[in-house]
Amino acid sequence: MILRFLRLIPIITLFASCNSSSAPAAAPSTTPASPPNILLIVADDLGWADLNCYGNPLVKSPNLDALARRGVQFMQAYAAAPAGKPSRAALQTGLHPSRTDHGALPGNYETLGELAQRAGLLTAHIGKWQLGTGSKSPRNQGYDHVFAANESYPDSYYHPFFSTQPQADLLAETKPGDYLTDKLTDHALDLLDKWRDSTWLLSLNYYAPHVPLEGRKDQVTGYRALIDSTHWRKFPTLEYAAMISVIDENVGRIVDLLRENGQLENTLIIFTSDNGGLDLPAEGKLLPHTPPTDNGILRGGKGTLYEGGIRVPFIVHYPAYATTQFASLEQVMGTDIFPSVGEALSQGDYAASPDGQSFLHLLRGASAKPRFLFWSAPYGGPEGAASAVRYGDFKLYRDDSTDSLTYFNLGALPDESLRMALPPEGTDLLKALNARD
């Protein structure tokens, strides 16, 4: 019992340090008269415990920490899948990955870009897409402007970036020595400055901190000095920490521009990750500096349906609408982004989702309605094919290869370190999971 208590000390301390009260913010109590700009920033493989504001003692993330303090930081936010492609499909459509063939996007599903176009906004997608080419490319899925939308990870984060799948548009704006995360942000800044008198949606998808792990050299040098002098810790690796700090630095650049252009107050900013952090060694040429992270107290990582594979950072900043600034224990999911953007743009009738619900009311201190959250990973992973469902504090994990069931009380032990002896009373998680199947 003592050992289990000690393992929970980091998260208890974290919750104690967060402002978990619904503190009033400098925001109006009525809905803004004009539709907001929408800025969705998605990191690739960023784990739940990889930012300082989520309890990481090593990583320097002052800009994201400030965004969390001035907005709502969700502590129990989930990706819709433990891998990028199905999760990104859910971010774009508001639909559970099983409805989109786990990211293949069959059929005619409306995307965030198309939703924003319906509301009269300019739209742009910058960075990783991963959802297909041709008719499934971002240009054909509602985005007026597209830049550097590769389907895969880079060969290097330094120019020329994609040696095996070169990006002509990216190469035309870069030169030797340029770092990918910086150049994606440069392009976004130029575009937003041109659009400063317009209303827009920007989906900015960084390739970092996905492998290959290659931090910007100045940040790596800074972390090496920090670790050598005062702060040694096995995880995250310094290359990985450096990549995160570069993301943070660039988020700060964007926030500064929005503030200068007078757009920050009426911009709905959502920052999240496509899945949990990678906690296992990579293979082949991607092996160096891996495993990069350990997801804090959470069990497992990318590719699994344990908490470390699906729980992600999720920060929402919308001063013109929100009336609270706090760390929230409400459960939200990647499928909630689509209906939330729809509500913000007064397109709620078009944005209704069977798998998501708007979180805008949570920005005003309201509570979420109880609901089942579902995951499926039929493509396998470190733990093989699996399914899971959560309701309230309770979670059911099913190994689909053996049909074995494990129940967890996440309210008591969020690290999934001890299975429940009996299913929880009053909630039939297995029935709900079978019905979802």
Q: How confident is the model at residue 26 (pLDDT cuts 50, 70, 90)?
A: very low
Q: What is the dotted CATH code of the domain comprising 2-371?
A: 3.40.720.10
DSSP 235-258: SS-HHHHHHHHHHHHHHHHHHHHH
* pLDDT class of 71 with cuts at 50, 70, 90: very high
DSSP state of 33: S
pLDDT level of residue 349 (50, 70, 90 thresholds): confident
Quote the radius of gyration of the chain (alpha carbons, Å).
20
User: For position 2, what pLDDT does the model report?
Assistant: 32
Secondary structure (3-state) at 152: coil
Instruction: Find, among 274, 255, 271, the residue nearest to 263 by Cα.
Output: 255
Of 374 and 10, more confident: 374
Residue 255: pLDDT over 90: yes
**Greater pLDDT, 1 or 262:** 262
What residue spans of 94-216 are helical by DSSP H?
112-118, 168-172, 180-194
Q: What is the mean pLDDT of residues 150-178?
A: 96
The answer, yes or no, to whether residue 368 has pLDDT greater than 70, is yes
Q: Which residue has the higher pLDDT, 357 or 30?
A: 357
Least-confidence region, from 16-25, 42-51, 171-180: 16-25
Q: What percent of the chain has pLDDT over 90?
A: 85
Residue 33 pLDDT > 60: yes
Structure-token pair, residue 177: 């020595």
In the structure encoding, which two tokens stand for residue 174, read together?
């870069």
Which class for 376: exposed (0-12), middle (13-18), buried (19 or more C-beta within 10 A)?
buried
Q: In this model, does residue 260 exceed pLDDT 50? A: yes
Query: In the Cβ-directed half-sphere of 348, how many Cα atoms lie within 13 Å?
Result: 8
Which whole number is the average pLDDT over 332-348? Answer: 97
Mean pLDDT of the 405-427 span: 96
Percentages of the chain per state (helix, strand, coil), in multiples of 5: 35, 20, 50
How high is the pLDDT of residue 23?
47
- The rounded distance, in Å, linking the Cα atoms of 299 and 122 is 41
* CB-based contact 137:149 (threshold 8 Å): yes
CA distances from 382 to 43, 238, 279, 398 (A): 21, 24, 10, 14
In DSSP terms, 271 is beta-bridged to 41, 315
Least confident of 11-15, 173-177, 408-412: 11-15
Give residue 31's pLDDT. 62
Triad 362, 43, 79: Cα angle to 5°: 50
Q: Indicate if the pLDDT at residue 293 is higher than 70.
A: yes
Tokens of 430: 């297995």
For residue 153 the two structure tokens come to: 């990870």
Q: pLDDT grade, residue 229 (50/70/90)? A: confident
Q: Find the helix packing angle between 217-229 and 238-260, rounded to 10°.
A: 120
The residue with greater pLDDT, 324 or 393, is 393
Percent of the residues in the chain that have a pLDDT greater than 70, as a whole number: 93
d(CA 324, CA 381): 39
Kindly report the average pLDDT of the chain as a whole number: 92
Poorest-pLDDT segment among 103-112, 144-153, 252-261: 103-112
Q: Are 240 and 213 in contact (CB under 8 A)?
A: yes
- Domain locations in the chain? 2-371, 385-437
pLDDT band at residue 4 using 50, 70 and 90 as cut-offs:
very low
Q: What are the residues whose beta carbons fall under 8 Å from the beta carbon of 377, sequence distance 6 or more? A: 81, 82, 83, 303, 304, 305, 385, 386, 387
Q: How confident is the model at residue 427 (pLDDT cuts 50, 70, 90)?
A: very high
Q: Residue 305: what pLDDT?
A: 98
Q: State whether residue 80 is helix, strand or coil.
A: coil
| Confidence bin at 186 (pLDDT 50/70/90) | very high
pLDDT in tens, 283-292: 999 999 999 9
29 or 84, greater pLDDT: 84
What sign has the CA pseudo-torsion 170, 173, 174, 179? negative
Confidence check: pLDDT of 21 > 90: no
pLDDT per position as a tens digit, 84-113: 999 999 999 999 999 999 888 877 889 999
Mean pLDDT of 268-284: 98
Closest of 281, 277, 333 to residue 309, by C-alpha: 277
Label residue 228 by pLDDT band (50, 70, 90). confident
